[in-house]
Amino acid sequence: VNDTYHVIAIGPWFYILASYAAGVVLMLLEVWRVRARQRQAMAQAAEPLDDEQRWDT
Amino acid sequence: MNTLRFFTFAAPSRFYALAGKLVPWCWAAAALLAAAGLYLGFAVAPTDATQGEVYRIIFLHVPAAWMSMVLYLAMAFWAAIGWAFNARTATVLAQSIAPTGAMFTVLALWTGALWGKPTWGTYWVWDARLTSEFILLLLYLGYMALVAAIDDPRRADRAGALLAIVGAVNVPIIYFSVKWWNTLHQGASVSLTASPKMAATMLNAMLLMSLACWAYAFAVVFMRTRAALLERERDTAWVGSIAGRST
């Protein structure tokens, strides 16, 4: 039996699901990281400036 | 007048506000387009005569591969603009595009491998298309690592821009690799100069998913750019007023 034929027979939906699941996971992970970065950036921006930063400003 | 209006958004504070208004619309567009594309791709498009069901990976694989190339060109363009005109917003935009471009490149390689196994009999071969796409991933990672490794932001911007611009030569190599070399990867099914080689429902599903990926990329890049602008402009008065800084 041809190996390619055998793999198709065990189910193309495994490959389809693994593809789309990876897409969902990667996009959710990216959005989660960006949102965390946004929160951290806003929190840091809210902290008072030290003397050196105030001088730069 | 219109040109002047365009350049006013180069100011970090104005771009921050504009991007903030656009992000929800981009998310809405991404959700609607993805829902329509997935419906068309999985419920309407017929089973392929030769590949069976597994061809449906195309609705994610091709948009991801297109995005990986287009985002690299966009990154190189904004990095060049930032370098040439010393424009901070353009540079931050370029640096914000890189992780999304790298994500789409990983997704294109991953979905391609999962498509390759049942159709070619192997997850990976070092053919021209696959290898040049892998080099694109290395360029994205190299760009991000280079920018992160240099402490002085202006030097990091210039070094990153140089790498991004030089690396852009890889994009046409990826695109034309299936024509220039004898590859296992198939040729282009969709071209600007020829009629598509696939059924209309399949093509429409793929185009809808591509637009969804575009909308997603705009949304996430705008969000990252806003965060990066807050970090970079932290000492300025406009960031202080947005964050509610007391002194």
Mean pLDDT of chain B, nearest integer: 92
Q: What is the pLDDT of residue A4?
A: 58
Residue that wins the pLDDT comparison between B199 and B106? B106
Q: Which residue of B has its CA nearest to A13?
A: B54
Give percent of chain B above pLDDT 70.
95
> Is pLDDT above 60 for B23?
yes
Q: What is the pLDDT of residue A7?
A: 52
> Is pLDDT above 80 for A17?
yes
- What was the ipTM of the complex prediction? 0.91
Structure-token pair, residue B158: 């210039």
The b-or-e profile of B51-85 (16+ CB within 10 A means b, else e) is bebbbbbbbbbbbbbbbbbbbbebbbbbbbbbbee
Which chain B residues are within 8 Å of A53, Cβ to Cβ? 234-235
Mean pLDDT over B42-49 rounds to: 92
Instruction: Tell me whether residues B235 and A53 touch, CB distance under 8 A.
Output: yes
Residue that wins the pLDDT comparison between B195 and B239? B239
What whole-number distance in Å separates Cα of residue B27 and Cα of residue B102? Answer: 20
Tell me which of B47, B235, B242, B245 to substitute to probe the interface with A (most A C-beta atoms closer than 10 Å): B235
Mean pLDDT over B116-127 rounds to: 93
Q: What is the pLDDT of residue B164?
A: 97
Closest approach of A11 to chain B, Cα-based (Å): 9
Mean pLDDT over B22-51 rounds to: 95
- Angle of helix B153-167 relative to helix B58-85, nearest 10 degrees, comes to 130
Listing DSSP states for B195-228 in one string gives --SS-HHHHHHHHHHHHHHHHHHHHHHHHHHHHH
How sure is the predictor about B81, in pLDDT bands with cuts at 50, 70 and 90? very high
Continuous segment of H or E residues that includes residue B76: helix B58-85
Q: What is the pLDDT of residue A53?
A: 67
Considering only CB atoms, B118 lies closest to which of A12, A27, A57, namely: A12
Residue for token pair 């990154």: B75
pTM, full prediction? 0.91
> Is pLDDT above 80 for B83?
yes
Phi-psi category of B245—alpha, beta or left, where left has phi over 0 and alpha has psi -120 to 50?
beta
How sure is the predictor about A40, in pLDDT bands with cuts at 50, 70 and 90? very high
What whole-number distance in Å separates Cα of residue B136 and Cα of residue B171? Answer: 8
What whole-number distance in Å separates Cα of residue B239 and Cα of residue B89? Answer: 14
Mean pLDDT over B155-177 rounds to: 96
The greatest distance separating any two alpha carbons of chain A, rounded to the nearest whole angstrom, comes to 76
Give percent of chain B above pLDDT 90.
78
Q: What is the pLDDT of residue A34?
A: 98
Q: What is the pLDDT of residue A1?
A: 47
Residue that wins the pLDDT comparison between B182 and A6? B182
What whole-number distance in Å separates Cα of residue B52 and Cα of residue B97? Answer: 36
Instruction: Tell me whether residues B247 and A48 touch, CB distance under 8 A.
Output: yes
Q: What is the pLDDT of residue B14?
A: 93
Mean pLDDT of chain A, nearest integer: 83
Q: What is the pLDDT of residue A50?
A: 77
Instruction: Tell me whether residues B227 and A41 touch, CB distance under 8 A.
Output: yes
Distinct helix (H) and strand (E) counts, chain B: 9, 0
CA distances (Å), origin A54, targets A48, B6, B12, B88, B219: 9, 31, 19, 20, 33
